[in-house]
Structure 1
Amino acid sequence: MAIFGLSPALLVLFVGFGLLIGILFGFFGMGGSFLVTPALLVMGYPSRVAVGSGLAFVFGTSVIATLKHRDLGQVDYKLGVLMIAGTTAGIEVGKEVVLHLEDLGLAGSIISVTYVVLLGGIGVFVTYEAVTGSDGGIDHDAADDPADADEIPDIAKTIQSYRVPPMIDLRGGVTVSLWMILGVAFATGLLSGFLGVGGGFIRMPALFYLIGVPVPIAVGTDLFEIVFSGGIGSFTYALDGGVNLSIVLPLLAGSALGARIGSAATSIVDEDEIKVYFGVMLLGGAVAVAVRELGNVYGIDAFDVVSLVLILGSALLVSGAVVYSTVSALRERTTVTAQAAD
């Protein structure tokens, strides 16, 4: 019997896929359209439906995850609104750059190379910094207290040192110039508009490494931004019939639980582990995109399937690691509490 117009097997696949992505989305503040859209394309859905349904799913999941992060006190609304303003302007400029490159016939190759290099570069940087501990790291328990100067990344310290009025006080005890925030937002928006992606994998590390807010707040605030970008994008595609609810609803059914698990995990799992998992996720994505582009260049359709397997494999591996780390941390806390009671 078909439910939502889908066979039982396909329904289970979409619900399970939604659960997987929901965990990643709630934990990292990214991962939705980055995974859903290519999966739907490989499954044979038209590009308009794949993109539109992916955006609608991102919107719904980001609302769920943002509400959970709000309950944990991990959303900085002031920073989120400022970032939305800056990224919106940057996206428009990025689109104009793409249009100019299209006129020159260079858009496809340049965007693909930039995407792989940027995705892989951020993945290597974040993983290296987390493993070596050279960025210091900010304790989750101190997210609402003034951040120690030694716990802020060096780049963020430099940006915060430019005391250009007006100065803005942010969650996590961070004070930074309004113009620095808008500058970072514009730069991340420019890359988002140029690459044609939501930009979560750019904004989340930018909020931590450039502005200096704690990672849990960076994730929650990034999700708050995605509520707006995903909502506007999905509404635009829905007007043109690009949103297929038989795809979106089962995905959201799974992600409703996954997003809350991933969001709750950010307050339990060690912050350096979050950054390691994030870096591994990006590296897997970079390899997957590179394989897909090679397939396009050489006309090897099988590379699309290989690319999808790489994306889903890295997502499954990382989400499994998130759940395992969360359970381990909870067991450790329970043990410590029991020993303290004795």
Structure 2
Amino acid sequence: MSVELFGVSAVAFALFVGFGTLIGVLFGFFGMGGSFLVTPALLAMGYPSRVAVGSGLAFVFGTSVIGALRHRDLGQVDYGLAALMTVSVTAGIEVGKRGVLWLEALGLADAVVSGAYVVLLTLVGAFVVRDSRSRRTDEREPEGPKGLFESVSIPPTMSLTGGPAVSVWVILAIGTVVGVLAGFLGVGGGFLLMPAMTYGFGVPAAVAVGTDILQITVSGAVGSFLYAQSGGVDLGVVAPLLVGSAFGARIGSAATRLVDEEGITGYFGAMLLLGALAVAVRQVGVAYGIDGLDAVSLAIIVVAALLVSGAVVYSSVAALRDERTSAPSAD
């Protein structure tokens, strides 16, 4: 007799807990909403699109609450920036959705959105990895993050935590652009907001992650509520994922205080590139009717989550070991 928990077998429950732990580490470390990996994984497992998206959003909301509280305790949240980003991203998402509806009427939505997803992930990931490697090879003393838009001084301006004063209009404009892309691609926008705050505004990576997570909490709450009303949230998926992520998110958020800035951005870029590969493999399978590529796409997602979360934990342990070694011993 098989044991079931929340409508799934005990084995499936344990697997979801393990996967949730890996995603929680990545979420706490990078500030990505989780739908970036969870939703494609559920689709590859055969869940209907509505359930995959709705359950992914519910997981995003639960995990973001955990991560936001942890980052708040560490002082890594800029509340003013999070509020402006939430307003502008929400407005942009509506514009992006209208673009998708227009493409659906033309019968081009699936191909265009999937192609844009892969291209955007690849471009952002390649830029982040390249920037991280160039920082590591630069022998000059690091001067801290430099924002592309910090020289734009259109009033009013806002002083950001750990960063410069940035024009409120620039923040709203960037948030709107990110929202349009997020609404068009059907994702939470976390993988876009984190580099936007780091490279655009000059915010330290740890603060960008914490602020990003707080903003995602709002969008995840609204999205999961709407999908739950239409039966699009599967508790058998969400509950075990949240059990695992509750533990993993604390590890990931704590690691942002231990791993150097270049390490954070480098891992983030690698995660984006692997995600692009997984989505591309799945789309090839859909286009040519190759069922086996769904399993390959799922394997890439799981292996990528395992490798990158493992790298985060390893780097954190190594940093702690170095701190203890360099600390003066008490006589």
TM range (shorter): over 0.9
| TM value normalised by structure 1 | 0.92
Evaluate the alpha carbon distance shift between residue 76 and residue 322 of structure 1 in structure 2; reply closer, same or farther with a 3 A threshold. Answer: same
Name the SS for the 2:226 alignment partner: helix
**Secondary structure, in 3 states, of the residue corresponding to 1:168?**
strand
Q: CA deviation at 1:134?
A: 7.9
Q: Are positions 1:283 and 2:273 aligned together?
A: yes
Amino acid across the alignment from 1:225? Q
Change in Cα spacing, 1:19 to 1:228, as seen in structure 2 (3 Å) is: same
Pick which of 82-91 and 239-248 moved more: 239-248
The correspondence for 1:186, drawn from 176, 191, 198, is 176
Residue 157 of structure 2 corresponds to 167
Equivalent residues of 2:44, 2:297 under 8 A apart:
no
Aligned residues with identical type, % of pairs:
60
**CA–CA distance in structure 2, aligned partners of residues 40 and 304 of structure 1:** 10
Q: Can you list the C-alpha shifts for 1:93-128, whole angstroms capped at 9, x where unaligned?
A: 111111222222222222111111110111110001
Residues in 1 aligned to 2:162 and 2:329: alpha-carbon distance in whole angstroms: 29
Question: Are the structure 2 counterparts of residues 103 and 134 from structure 1 closer, same or farther at C-alpha, using a change threshold of 3 Å?
Answer: farther
Q: Deviations over 1:198-229 (max 9, x none)?
A: 11111110010111111001000000011000
Is the counterpart of residue 257 in structure 1 residue 247 in structure 2?
yes
Bigger Cα displacement from structure 2, 298-307 vs 220-229: 298-307
Cα distance in 2 for residues equivalent to 1:173 and 1:287: 33
Partner of 2:29: 27
Matching residue of 1:215 = 205
Asked whether the 8 Å contact 1:90–1:185 carries over to 2, the reply is: yes
Q: Is 1:103 the counterpart of 2:102 in the alignment? A: no
Shift of 1:324: 0.4
Q: How many residues align?
A: 327
Give me the whole-angstrom Cα distance separating, in 1, the residues matched to 2:308 and 2:20.
15
Report the more deviating stretch, 169-178 or 30-39: 30-39
Q: Which residue of 2 aligns with 1:268?
A: 258
**Paired residues of 1:19 and 1:257 also in contact (CA < 8 A):** yes
TM-score (norm 2): 0.95
Per-residue CA shift, 1:3-32, capped at 9, x if unaligned?
A: 223222111101111111100000001151
What is the rounded CA distance, in whole Å, between the counterparts of 2:136 and 2:180 in structure 1? 28
Say which of 50, 53, 63 aligns to 1:51. Answer: 53
In structure 1, the residue matched to 2:12 is: 10
| Greater mean deviation of Cα atoms: 26-35 or 200-209 | 26-35
Query: 2:309 maps to which residue?
Result: 319
**Structure 2: 5+ residue stretches without partners:** none
The answer for the alignment partner of 2:145 in structure 1 is 152
Deviations 1:229-261 (A, max 9, x none): 000000001111111212211111111010000
Matched, 1:177 2:167: yes
Q: Secondary structure at 1:133's aligned position in 2?
A: helix
Structure 1 contact 135–151 (Cα < 8 Å) conserved = no
Contact preservation (8 Å) 1:69, 1:75: yes
**Alpha-carbon distance between aligned partners in 2 of 1:173 and 1:13, rounded to the nearest angstrom:** 40
Which residue number in structure 2 is paired with residue 226 of structure 1?
216
What residue ranges of structure 1 are gaps of 5+ in the alignment?
A: 140-147
Equivalent residue number for residue 333 of structure 1: 323
Tell me how far 1:47 sits from its aligned partner. 2.0
Q: Please give the alpha-carbon distance, in whole angstroms, between the structure 2 residues aligned to 1:183 and 1:323.
A: 36
CA distance in 1, matches of 2:300, 2:129: 19
Cα deviation code 1:25-50 (max 9, x no counterpart): 00001151122122222323222222
Equivalent position amino acid for 1:208 in 2: T
